[in-house]
């Protein structure tokens, strides 16, 4: 049978872009469909614009640190409109850049929402095309609990387009998105209140990471309200009134509230049932939440339909941009490059761009103890960075290594503190290669630096 394309990709986010260009480099005829700006969540409303906001949020601390080093600083003021406009301009520039990369790679870009008609046919705005293989890379989207007044809340999609800086922002949710934006908005000068359903923030991370981040957030003036959920939200002259579940908890008044209670695979309207593509449950527990679905795939990102594949957040495996890119390239290598291979989801480093920043790679202490018991040995240090010797601030850095004492292998590395992501990125190479604690000890540290602590812990 003759097809219009060798590969049709649905979704021009990080994973879809990487897969389409790699497949085209092998000589495949490729088209990619996108109904939004090219670039996906990361470029348009995720990693990239968020990191710009992180950078901006650090300037007030630098201004306040400067006198300790003899600098005289005036009264700084944030021009919110200039700030938001500059981010949007850069996002659109990057989106256009990705379009040019597709053109250079020989990938045809089709604007519009694509849906599956059958296992080999896709429809985009009334136009039907056929493809030998189809790749679904549509990512995920924010979700809100089904509770009264949630329609007034913004999500991480809209926070980059606020016309005015919030005076008081209330954030629902204690995952990494909620934590990052709490720290960003506080750094920019807004009053911030964060509401968590449970006792702990950042579930799934090594226990020392949320402990250190929470202490830093509290010290920086973020108010954390734990073990509470929002019962109702209503408009009031001052903005919004949020009534919480705690009997002794007074209602909150805020001019903006951000709903950061999770994301779901963006499977709605894809026509998966038309092509015989199976989904699996992806449940989120809690009041107002419902069960969502993710596309089921095997280790080669292949769905229940042998010629249809899915990568990235829509599969709800490990929802990180570099992972989606890696899965996309592995798919292209396997199906078009005569190099069948899996993408490894083991030892993937990640960061939380909070204040203080955190980064991690490998096993947590809890995971290691569950698997190895008493064989686990922990090396941990906590100190005030040299930079703050003159600022007078009591900021802390924490570093931790999880080691198998039987093999001396470093199983995990975790850090909270300035430049954590930059430091852990290098450490991740050693962990991925199976370095031992003896290897770390034999490595000469760069002095004076915070990073040298990873090779001096005894």
Q: For a pLDDT cut of 90, what percent of the chain falls above it?
A: 95
Residue with token string 């894809």: 270
Predicted local confidence at residue 287, as pLDDT: 52
- The DSSP result for 201-243, as a single string, is SSTTS-THHHHHHHHHHHHTT-EEE-S--EEEEEEETTEEEEE
Q: Which helix (H) or strand (E) holds 411?
A: strand 410-416
Name the average pLDDT for the chain.
96
CATH number at residue 42: 3.50.50.60
pLDDT in tens, 30-68: 999 999 999 999 999 999 999 999 999 999 999 999 999
What are phi and psi for residue 97, nearest 5 degrees?
-65, -40
What single-letter DSSP state applies at residue 255? S
Q: Are 291 and 281 in contact (CB under 8 A)?
A: yes
Q: Across residues 406-427, what is the average pLDDT?
A: 98
Cα separation, 243 vs 231, whole angstroms:
6
On whether residue 342 sits in a domain, the answer given is no
Does residue 447 have an active-site annotation? yes
C-alpha to C-alpha distance for 426 and 415, rounded to whole angstroms: 12
Judged against a pLDDT cut of 70, whether residue 395 lies above it is answered with yes
Q: Among 9-23, 143-157, 174-188, which is the least confidently predicted range? A: 143-157
Q: Confidence class of residue 291 from pLDDT cuts 50, 70 and 90?
A: low
Number of domains in the chain: 3
Same domain assignment for residues 22 and 164: no
Helix (H) or strand (E) holding 178: helix 176-187
Do both 131 and 274 map to the same domain?
Answer: yes
**Among 58, 98, 345, 447, the one annotated catalytic:** 447
Mean local confidence (pLDDT), 143-159:
93
pLDDT at 288: 54
Model-level pTM greater than 0.75?
A: yes
Residue-level pLDDT at 332: 98
| Residue 72 sits in the same domain as residue 98 | yes
* Co-location of 131 and 276 in the same domain: yes
* Residues 233-255: tens digit of each pLDDT: 999 999 999 999 998 899 999 99
84-88, 196-200, 285-289, 435-439: the lowest-pLDDT one: 285-289
Q: Is the pLDDT reported for residue 290 higher than 80? A: no
Question: How far, CA to CA in Å, does 277 sit from each of 271, 272, 294, 342?
Answer: 9, 5, 11, 21
The HSE-up count of residue 75 (CA atoms within 13 Å, CB side) is: 0
For 282, residues 6+ apart whose C-beta sits below 8 A from its C-beta are 264, 265, 291, 292, 293, 294, 316
Domain extent, residue 209, equals: 150-260
Q: What is the average per-residue pLDDT within 276-284?
A: 83
Q: Is the dihedral of CA 431, 436, 437, 441 positive or negative?
A: negative
Which of 336, 366, 390 corresponds to the end of one domain? 336
10 with 136, same domain? yes
Question: What mean pLDDT is predicted for residues 117-127?
Answer: 97
Kindly state whether residue 345 falls inside one of the protein's structural domains: no
């Amino acid at each position: 049978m003759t097809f219009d394309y060798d590969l049709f990709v649905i979704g021009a986010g990080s994973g879809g872009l990487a897969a389409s260009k790699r497949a085209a480099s092998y000589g495949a005829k490729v088209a990619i469909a996108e109904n939004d700006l090219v670039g996906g969540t990361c470029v348009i409303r995720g990693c990239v614009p968020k990191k710009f906001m992180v950078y901006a949020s650090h300037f007030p601390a630098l201004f306040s640190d400067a006198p300790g080093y003899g600098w005289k600083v005036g009264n700084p003021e944030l021009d919110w409109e200039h700030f938001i406009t500059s981010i949007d301009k850069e996002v659109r520039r990057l989106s256009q850049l990705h379009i040019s990369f597709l053109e250079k790679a020989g990938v045809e870009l089709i604007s519009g929402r694509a849906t599956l008609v059958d296992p080999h046919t896709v429809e985009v705005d009334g136009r039907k095309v056929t493809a030998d293989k189809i790749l679904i890379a549509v990512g995920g989207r924010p979700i809100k609990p089904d509770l009264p007044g949630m329609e007034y809340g913004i999500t991480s999609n809209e926070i980059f387009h606020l016309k005015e800086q919030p005076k008081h922002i209330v954030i629902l949710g204690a995952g990494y998105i909620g934590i990052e934006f709490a720290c960003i908005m506080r750094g920019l000068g807004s009053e911030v209140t964060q509401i968590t359903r449970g006792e702990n923030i950042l579930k799934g991370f090594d226990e020392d990471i949320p402990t250190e981040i929470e202490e830093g957030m509290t010290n920086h003036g973020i108010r954390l309200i734990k073990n509470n959920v929002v019962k109702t939200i209503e408009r009031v002259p001052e903005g919004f009134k949020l009534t919480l579940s705690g009997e002794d908890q007074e209602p909150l008044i805020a001019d903006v509230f951000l709903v950061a209670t999770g994301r779901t695979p963006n499977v709605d309207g894809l026509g998966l049932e038309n092509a015989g593509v199976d989904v699996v449950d992806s449940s989120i527990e809690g009041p107002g939440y419902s069960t969502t679905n993710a596309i089921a795939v095997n280790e080669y990102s292949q769905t229940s339909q042998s010629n249809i594949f899915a990568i990235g957040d829509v599969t709800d495996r490990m929802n990180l941009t570099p992972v989606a890119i890696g899965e996309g390239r592995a798919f292209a290598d396997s199906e078009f490059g005569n190099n069948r291979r899996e993408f490894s989801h083991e030892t993937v480093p990640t960061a939380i761009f909070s204040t203080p920043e955190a980064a991690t790679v490998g096993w947590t202490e809890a995971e290691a103890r569950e698997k190895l018991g008493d064989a686990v040995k922990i090396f941990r240090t906590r100190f005030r960075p040299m930079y703050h010797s003159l600022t007078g601030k009591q900021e802390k850095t924490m570093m931790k290594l999880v080691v198998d004492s039987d093999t001396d292998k470093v199983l995990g590395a975790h850090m909270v503190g300035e430049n954590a992501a930059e430091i852990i990125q290098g450490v991740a190479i050693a962990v991925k290669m199976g370095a031992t604690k003896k290897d770390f000890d034999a490595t000469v540290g760069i002095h004076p630096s915070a990073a040298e602590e990873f090779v001096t812990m005894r």
